[in-house]
Structures are given as structure tokens and as C-alpha cells.
Amino acid sequence: MTESAELEIRDDEYRVRYNSETQTVTFQGELQLNGMEEYAPIVMLLDKVVNQEPSVLTLDLRKLEFLNSSGINVLLSLVIKVRNKQTIQLVVEGSETVSWQSRSLNNIRRLMPTAQLNIA
């Protein structure tokens, strides 16, 4: 696993990258890490992003083919952190053709009603 100055974590199976110019975190591949300890580097990246307090934060999940329950918990805890800041508009880009997204992304709106969900 490597982390570069541009805030990227990658492995053979996945990639999580933050682009500060577009204020977008892009998730790609399959995230099926074992437990919160293995998700810690991703949580640290997401915490850095939230602490920068971008005016709009976009989560691009369209190319994230699989996310296990620990990963879903990471996403939902990110939503709570963004909601608690009260200064960040959250936009989530998803794909209705990815089965876990159509089932799980609506929970984001329950946690943060002001979040904008774009699932196409």
C-alpha cells in the first residue's frame, strides 16, 4: 500500500484518491479489507480531507464494484463527520448498475438529509 502527497492509497484490488482541485474522493475497484484496522489508512485519508473543510466534497463511487460491511461503515462514519462539520456540502456519485450501491447508498440520505445523491 502506498500513499503519495496527492492523497492516494492503492493496492492491487482498489484505489482511493483525493483530488484537491475538484474536491473529489474517487474510489475504484473492490474494497474488501478485513476489519477497521485494515481500513485505517483510508480513514486517515478521509479525515485529512474533511479537516481541510472543502466547501463541497464529492465522493465518486461509480467505479467501486464491491464494498464490504466494514467499508460501508467507513463511508457512513465519513458522512457523520461531514454532517457534524456543518460547513461541507456532500455529493455522492453512484451507479445503479453496481448492486451494493443501489442497496446501501440511500442510508447516506438518512444520516445526512442535505447530501446530494446522484445514482445513475
Q: What whole-number distance in Å separates Cα of residue 64 and Cα of residue 26?
A: 9
DSSP 90-110: EEEEE-TTSHHHHHHTHHHHH
The CATH code of the domain that includes 59 is 3.30.750.24
Task: Compute the C-alpha angle 78/55/76, nearest 5°.
Answer: 10
Q: What whole-number distance in Å separates Cα of residue 104 and Cα of residue 43?
A: 19
Domain count, the chain: 1
Is the Cβ–Cβ distance between 49 and 85 less than 8 Å? Answer: no
Per-residue pLDDT tens over the stretch 29-87: 999 999 899 999 999 999 999 999 999 999 999 999 999 999 999 999 999 999 999 99
Q: Look up the domain containing 33 and give its range.
A: 2-119
pTM (2 decimals)? 0.92
